[in-house]
Structure 1
Amino acid sequence: MDEHVTNIINDLKKDNVQAYLLTKFTNVEYISNYRPTSFAFCVIKEEPIIYVSSMDMEIAKNNSSLEVKEYESMDVMIKELKSEGIKNLAIEPSLPFGSYEKLKDDFTIDSKTYIDKQRMIKTTLEIEKIKKATEIAQKSFLQLDILNNKNTEKEIAFDLVRLMIENGASKESFDTIVTSGASSSLPHAIPQAKRLEKPILIDWGAIFEGYCSDNTRTIVYNEKQQEIWDIVAEAHDKAIKAIRPGLKCIEIDKVARDIIADYGYGDRFIHSTGHSLGLDIHETPGFSIRDETVIEEGMVITVEPGIYLEGEFGVRLEDTVAIYKKANVIGDLPLKIE
């Protein structure tokens, strides 16, 4: 049985829980190597099983490491689980409310994050896939020749996605951000049909064999922009240097946040310092003002401080780090693009 499944079953036993229901696509993939295309109910128990739609039976049989069975109806699934003596059921916090409503009368239900705990620590193979996704994304970025690119933001975003796919990605890991000028002060700006203005901020990532990458670079052009860039770069570098197993995520966020605050821009750093990634672009834990998670070896987390001056411009610099005895930056793209 897969190590991840075994670990979750051990967690279930500790809590006297008989089964754990998963429906989130990336969680099902993580457990079984099968990624649903429509829906699936994965039940982790002594003999795990995945109920899949008829449309997915072929792909599930070809890829799943767990037993698969065609889903007939919720009533049939509930009847089969009850016939095994299952009375209590753990669910993901993200389970759709409609599914919960159909289950609550037949089982004692509790929300558990066993799967999130498992996914916090990446295996060597998972980290290698994230490294490859990063390599593809960074190579594609350099091929854009952004400093000499005369296309619009939307065209550049399209070209970057095309290059990533040509270089081996299955797709982009989130909607690619290419923004410039005043709109760069919007952390999640949408590329516009306009030629590049100054500064230029690009936030992009690739997916390789299911695993995501994430980088951001900001290209600045005048003294004020350079001043802000230097502050963000200092926060970025010192936060990465501070990362060690045994510290709490909140402590790393504080390192970056305090530097930016010391320069008088504390209220202009309007998001967390970083987030884990893997099969999803946003996973737990993250470097934030509320995350008390203790950092462990094997975690993969972004570091992305930013300063956003409303109506003027924004600067964000982001790298992803794999944590061992210290934080190792994944990829080799220079922080400063010139």
Structure 2
Amino acid sequence: MDLHIDNILNDLEKDNFQAYLLTKFTNVGYISDYKPTSFAFCVIKENPVIYASKMDMEIANRDSKIEVREYESFEVMIGELKKEGIKNLAIEPTLPYSTYEKFRDDFSVESKTYVDKQRMIKTPEEIKNIEKATEIAQKSFLELDILNNENNENEVAFDLVRLMVENGASKESFDTIVTSGADSSLPHAIPQAKKLNQPILIDWGAIYGGYCSDNTRTIIYTERQQEIWDIVAEAHDKAIKAIKPGIKCCEVDKVARDIISEYGYGNEFIHSTGHSLGLDIHETPGFSLRDETIIEKGMVITVEPGIYLEGEFGVRLEDTVAIYRKADVIGDLPLKID
């Protein structure tokens, strides 16, 4: 049986659960190689099974490496599980409440993160896909005509997505952020139909082979912007140098946060230092104040410190690292874009 399933079965046994229910598309795909286009219920047990919608039966039968049954109704599915003697069920934390309600009357139900734990450590093949996604995204960024005075933020974002697809991405890994001027102080600004101002902040990523990439660059113009850029770059570089297996994720966040705080901008660093990525753009663990996860080889995590001066501008610099004996930056895009 698949190693991931074996590991989950071991977790179930240790915690005295008989089965684990998955509905999140990326988790179902991770376990089975079948990527749902409609709903699906994946039940990990001694003989795992996926209940797929009629609409998905052809693709599920083609791709899934575990048994597929056509979903008929909740009653039929629950009846089959009860017939096997299943009385308690672990579920994903992301399971919709409306779905949870349908299971809680028949099973003892508890939330568990077994698949998230598996997905923390990437295989060499997974890392290759992230590297290729990053290569595509960075190549596309360098081909982008950012400084054309006729362009507005929306147009630049659209062009960047188009280039990523032309260069081999299946799509963007999240809504591309192109923001400028005072709006760059909004970490998740939405591109507007307005001419580019200064500075210009672009946060973008591609998906290749199902795996995401993520980078941010800020193009600066004034001495004041350069001053803030230099602080963020120092926090970015020193955080990456601090990463190694065996230390806690929160220790990396502290390195970046302490540097920015020493320059007097601690209150303007308003998010965590980074997040894991893979099949989803945001995975666990992350470089945050509260994340005490021990860093391990095979993790892939972003490093993205930022300073946001309300009403003025913001600077964020982001790269993704694969962790071996140390952190190796994925891609070769310079931090400074002139």
Q: So what's the TM-score if we normalise by structure 1?
A: 0.99
1:234-253 equivalences under 5 Å are 234-253=234-253
1:294 and 2:294 aligned: yes
Instruction: Tell me how far 1:197 sits from its aligned partner.
Output: 0.7
RMSD: 0.8
Deviation per CA, 1:7-47, whole angstroms, max 9, x where unpaired? 11111111121100000010001001111111000000001
Instruction: Tell me how far 1:116 sits from its aligned partner.
Output: 0.7
CA–CA separation in structure 2 for the residues paired with 1:117 and 1:232? 31
Instruction: Tell me how far 1:147 sits from its aligned partner.
Output: 3.4
Instruction: Tell me how far 1:148 sits from its aligned partner.
Output: 4.2
Q: Which residue of 1 aligns with 2:114?
A: 114
Q: Which residue of 1 aligns with 2:271?
A: 271
Instruction: Tell me how far 1:208 sits from its aligned partner.
Output: 0.4
1:317-336 equivalences under 5 Å are 317-336=317-336
- Is the partner of 1:106 in helix, strand or coil? coil
1:178-217 equivalences under 5 Å are 178-217=178-217
CA–CA separation in structure 1 for the residues paired with 2:16 and 2:259? 46
Instruction: Tell me how far 1:98 sits from its aligned partner.
Output: 1.1
Instruction: Tell me how far 1:145 sits from its aligned partner.
Output: 3.3
Uncovered stretches (5+) of structure 2, i.e. residues with no partner = none
Deviation per CA, 1:130-172, whole angstroms, max 9, x where unpaired? 0000000000000003234631110010000000001110100
- Is the partner of 2:217 in helix, strand or coil? strand
- Is the partner of 2:192 in helix, strand or coil? coil
Letter of the 1:160 counterpart: L
CA–CA separation in structure 1 for the residues paired with 2:92 and 2:191? 34
1:309 and 2:309 aligned: yes
Letter of the 2:222 counterpart: N
CA–CA separation in structure 1 for the residues paired with 2:291 and 2:45? 30
Deviation per CA, 1:241-282, whole angstroms, max 9, x where unpaired? 000100000000000000000000000000000000000000
- Is the partner of 1:187 in helix, strand or coil? coil
Letter of the 2:105 counterpart: D
The more displaced of 104-113 and 250-259 is: 104-113
Residue pair 2:149, 2:195 contacting (<8 A) in 1 also: no
Letter of the 1:151 counterpart: N
Residue pair 2:272, 2:289 contacting (<8 A) in 1 also: yes
Uncovered stretches (5+) of structure 1, i.e. residues with no partner = none
- Is the partner of 2:147 in helix, strand or coil? helix
- Is the partner of 1:147 in helix, strand or coil? coil
- Is the partner of 1:146 in helix, strand or coil? coil
Q: Which residue of 2 aligns with 1:2?
A: 2
1:12-161 equivalences under 5 Å are 12-148=12-148, 150-161=150-161
Deviation per CA, 1:31-80, whole angstroms, max 9, x where unpaired? 01111111000000001000000000011111111111100001100000
CA–CA separation in structure 2 for the residues paired with 1:60 and 1:134? 29
Letter of the 1:146 counterpart: I
1:337 and 2:333 aligned: no
CA–CA separation in structure 1 for the residues paired with 2:299 and 2:145? 32
- Is the partner of 1:254 in helix, strand or coil? helix
Q: So what's the TM-score if we normalise by structure 2?
A: 0.99
Q: Which consecutive segments of 4 or more residues in structure 1 shift more than 6 A?
A: none
- Is the partner of 2:36 in helix, strand or coil? coil
Task: Say how many residue pairs are matched.
Answer: 338
The more displaced of 63-72 and 146-155 is: 146-155
Identity %: 80
Q: 1:149 to 1:130 in 2, by over 3 A?
A: farther
